[in-house]
Structure 1
């Protein structure tokens, strides 16, 4: 695999993992009023979308920062 593609995939995956952790922590700490209420299927969908929102945003920011700071 070319070095640039490997670099980009690594940075995206790292940022995605950080974003998942942040989204999960915010959801579990009661930032939202319906927080971690057990039960309904809609809550699980909302939680998944909320975590994906954080993960996708932070992964793109992490990649952009890594590309900016990468010096060769």
Structure 2
């Protein structure tokens, strides 16, 4: 059985769209401004909550980042 592919456009914590500028650009072909996440702080605790199989494959959304 093959592992399920990770949808990089969805937050690995809540499953909602993460609005990652890089993913939007890939999907639309339209150049995007710098992503909101370039100005965000992600704590070690928040990053540790990302399931191992999704780490470094999908961005955390702004809502989940703000909850931390």
TM-score range normalised by the length of the shorter chain:
under 0.3
More helix by share: 1
Higher-Rg structure is 1
With structure 1 as the length reference, what TM-score do the two structures score? Answer: 0.24
